[in-house]
Chains A and B, each alone.
Chain A
Amino acid sequence: MTITQVALVEDDTGMRERIARVVGADPSLALAFSASNATDILNWLADNPVDVLLVDLGLPDHPGLQVIRQCRSTQPACAVMVLSIFGDEANMVQAFEAGASGYLLKDGTEADLATHIRHLRAGGSPMSPVIARQLLRRWQTRTDPPPRPAAQAASAAPYSTAVAPERLSPREFEVLDLVSRGFTYVEVGVQMGVSASTVQTHIRNIYGKLDVHNKSEAVFEARNLGWLP
């Protein structure tokens, strides 16, 4: 059994230690590096490949979103998970768009945290009804009106609207709708006549479609450097 290498960036020492304990307790996981700020983790990531990166969004020196973007560009194979607090789901959509493929609620007990990590490793992608509702709204407002004029798009936030994400399939819309109304993956699967794992796949695909960074990295970099409006 291969051991999954985990790196962590989190400014709260207590939180860092708890996650280290949880990861250490899991024989299939190994904590390769633990940083308290963005600079340290980015320096380390430049030379060390890693399987999973856990990122807190509120870092002291740079935004966590920047760490996510940079990790996605330097280590495309690495899965980035957001360390999120309860009730912050609405802000996580940005993290998904930056390339995160899941999130981990950090304000549960250590047992909750371990369960959560096991779940993620088993291929599970959690999605709260609030996130589902947010995504639904974002896709509906994007697909309903015709493409926006360039000037208007440029003035909006670079990651939320500058690059239109891939379209959702009707099934994916259905999944989002049911999840946003409180149905569990199992119930969603029953209603749609598919297995719960298929629902999980849909969820992962939906997250993947949010990751505009993958497809439009050049565009983003060009815009960052001021070559494009």
Chain B
Amino acid sequence: MCTTNRKQCSRPATWAGFPSVRRLLFAVLWLLAFIGPAQAATGRMPDAMDVRSAEATLEPDGLPAQVRQVQLPFRWDHEFPGRGGKASYRIDLPAAAVPAGGPAALLLSGAGNQMAIWFNGALVATFGTLDDPGYDAAKGNQLVPVAAALHRRDGQPQQLLIQTTMQRQRGGGLASIRYGDEASLTPLYRAQQSWRNTSAIVYAVSLLLMGGLAGGLWLRQRDALYGCFALAALSGVARNLDRVWPEVPVPWPLWGAVVAVCYAGHIGLIARFVLLVLDRNPPWLVRSIYGALALSVTLACASFALALPKLWTTGLVILQAISIVCLPYVVHGALVARRRIAGVLMAAGTLAILAGAHDLLLVRMGLFGGAYYTLTPHAMFFFVMILAGLVVERYSRTVADYSALNANLAARVAEREEQLRGAFETMRLQQQEQAVLLERQRIMREIHDGVGSQLVGLLNVVTQATPDRSVVEEHVKLALDEMRMAVDSLQPTHDDLPTVLATLRYRLQPRLDAAGIELVWNVALIPAVAPFAAQAALQLQRILLEAFTNVLKHAAATRIVMQVSWHGDETPPMVRIVLTDNGRGLPAAPAADRPMGHGIANMRSRAQAIGARLHIETADAQAGGTRVLLDWPCALP
């Protein structure tokens, strides 16, 4: 369904779509205006005469035969509604009507339904077989050439006999006969035929194509507008085919009922289509349209089944009436709501209603002098073009909507990206703040546990009555060591294990020199390992510092060997640090005053914290000494 929203948002597309449709409409109007005078002009042909009356022998089924003079056009269905029958017409043609010696011709219209034509006693043409309803000659014009040899030369009138058989409700009879020079009638016949055939075929093909297109659109989009038009267009095909197809393989009057039902469907559904295009669907009117449609279909069937032509006429009146009822909505849309599409519909609808009135009153009822040519098929063709215009318009609107949607989506994606970027930035900042906070906490803890506890110990010593100078010095040095450890752990190279070890040595070397201890430095190349956080560096420094301090304080050693090796082929890769001294070795039992076990326990817990294994053992059974072995598994980055 087309909704009000979509119409509003794509107003430019609506305006853009219709000029072409309007041009097309004007072109067809112009064509119609041109055709009408052309037909009217036929009466004024110089070399031909119109037959005005005939002596007819009429034999309607179920009624007595009669012989009388009839005026042309003669409509069988008007004289004998709902009856078939036979009729023969005797016409005397004036000898002077045709130049002597030249070929003459007869141009007949609305004659039949089957017909045999005799000229001066000679059979000159048959159209269908008399009494065989398989052929309908009345649909078109018939040109019958009459050879010059058949003409009487004696000045007597030419005798024309037309025998016809009629089926009920088939539009039989004898509409007009024109007699004259073959050379002047042939072009006229050709023009009429080609107009009639071409228009009917063009309409039928257009209806088929547009009906098929609309049907396809309906299948894909399930838009009632397309479905309605598809049904309307396809049901309009039958009537256009019927206009040019004399030998329909469906028996009469069944075919008559089929054409009538299709016609009713065509008109009713076009009325519905108009409302759908306008998007004005008052329930009572929609119900009325469907009611009228059902009623006229029923009447059409009943009319042909019961041989009651008036029923179908009633059906046509109902259809005409419902079309007229729809018109105010179209006019309102065009003049009040000022909708371009409603204006176009108003033009087409008014034309269709006028054409319908013409066909109903003149052709069907024979009022106001009667007419043989129906106009409705021409008028209905406008609706085909309206649908084409609608499809074009909707397509362009859809394209415009999609590009607008695309632009909208792109804008929203950009906005989202912006938000995401902001969120990421916020998260990054938070992580950064978190990292800074953690580092700050680490440093605080470091100072508190290290320098702080050393200073507290120092305070204890100093507040004694007689502080031991060397103990004070020892405490101060330890406090400095602690502070330097903390500062070293903040070095930008703290993630580099060899540099961490080297820095440790750089700090310790003066004290080792002062104590007369030789340090053998045997550090292999170690690849950059990950992760080697500041915390790990510090723990490692602490463990080693504790080990060195133990040697300095307790071991009375003269030599320390520091061996660091990389074991990359083990899983996980491992750094092995071995610190060996030649001092007095591990005490048999922990000393009482300052338990060495306390320091070792510290080392163990630190090793545990960085996932390393600590092993402390006597270096040599005879020579003594201590070996501290640290296995630190670490991953490569």
Contact = CB atoms under 8 A, between A and B. Distances in A.
Whether both chains belong to one complex is answered with yes
A187 B496 CA distance: 21
A90, A134, A182, A184 — which one has the most chain B CB atoms within 10 A of its CB? A182
A87 B493 contact: no
Interface string B346-390: 000000000000000000000000000000000000000000000
Contact of A133 (B490, B496, B504): B496
Contact of A87 (B484, B501, B509): B484
A180 B499 contact: yes
Interface in B498-531: 498-499, 501-506, 509-510, 521, 523, 525
A130 interface: yes
11 contacts: A87-B484, A90-B492, A130-B492, A133-B496, A133-B499, A134-B492, A181-B502, A182-B498, A182-B506, A183-B521, A184-B509
Interface string A79-95: 00000001101100000
A182 B496 contact: no
Given A133-B496, A134-B492, A87 B502 contact: no
A171 B498 CA distance: 20
A128 B521 CA distance: 16
Interface in A68-87: 86-87
B523 A181 contact: yes
Nearest to B513: A184
Interface string B607-627: 000000000000000000000
B181 interface: no
B472 to A, nearest CB: 14
A116 to B, nearest CB: 11
Nearest to B484: A86
Contacts of A179: 502
Contacts of B502: 129, 133, 179-183
A182 B521 CA distance: 8
Nearest to B491: A130
A180 B506 CA distance: 10
A128 B503 contact: yes
A87 B506 CA distance: 12
A184 B510 CA distance: 12
Given A180-B498, A180-B499, A187-B521, A129 B506 contact: yes
Contact of B493 (A90, A112, A182, A184): A90
A114 to B, nearest CB: 14
Interface string A112-124: 1000000000000
B509 A181 contact: no
Interface in A130-162: 130, 133-134
B2 interface: no
Contacts of B523: 181-182
Interface of A: 86-87, 89-90, 112, 128-130, 133-134, 179-184, 187
Interface string B34-56: 00000000000000000000000
The 6 A-B residue pairs with the shortest CB-CB distance, nearest first, are A182-B502, A129-B502, A87-B487, A182-B505, A133-B499, A181-B498
Interface residues of B, number: 21
B488 interface: yes
Contacts of B525: 181
A184 B488 CA distance: 19
Nearest to A183: B521
Contacts, number: 54
A150 to B, nearest CB: 28
Contacts of A128: 503, 506
A185 to B, nearest CB: 11
A130 B499 contact: yes
A181 B504 CA distance: 10
Given A182-B521, A184-B509, A130 B493 contact: yes
B487 A86 contact: yes
A90 B494 CA distance: 11
A182 B506 CA distance: 7
Contacts of B498: 180-182
Contacts of B490: 87
A128 B503 CA distance: 7
A135 B525 CA distance: 18
A133 B499 CA distance: 7
Nearest to B493: A133
A179 B493 CA distance: 14
Given A86-B487, A90-B491, A182-B505, A129 B499 contact: yes
A63 to B, nearest CB: 20
A87 B488 contact: yes
Interface string B478-496: 0000001001101111001
Contacts of B484: 86-87
Given A112-B510, A179-B502, 15 more contacts: A87-B491, A89-B491, A128-B503, A130-B491, A130-B492, A133-B502, A134-B492, A180-B502, A181-B499, A181-B501, A181-B525, A182-B503, A182-B521, A184-B509, A184-B521
A182 B499 CA distance: 7
Contacts of A187: 521
A128 B502 CA distance: 9
Contacts of B521: 182-184, 187
Contacts of A112: 510
B28 to A, nearest CB: 71
B125 to A, nearest CB: 101
Contacts of A129: 499, 502-503, 505-506
B312 to A, nearest CB: 92
Contacts of A86: 484, 487
A134 B252 CA distance: 109
Contacts of A133: 493, 496, 499, 502
A146 B503 CA distance: 32
Nearest to B525: A181
A90 B492 CA distance: 7
A214 B509 CA distance: 34
A14 B174 CA distance: 140
Nearest to A187: B521
A187 B487 CA distance: 26
A87 B503 CA distance: 10
Contacts of A181: 498-499, 501-502, 523, 525
Contacts of B492: 90, 130, 134
A142 to B, nearest CB: 17
B510 to A, nearest CB: 8
B491, B501, B509, B521 — which one has the most chain A CB atoms within 10 A of its CB? B491
A134 B510 CA distance: 23
A130 B507 CA distance: 11
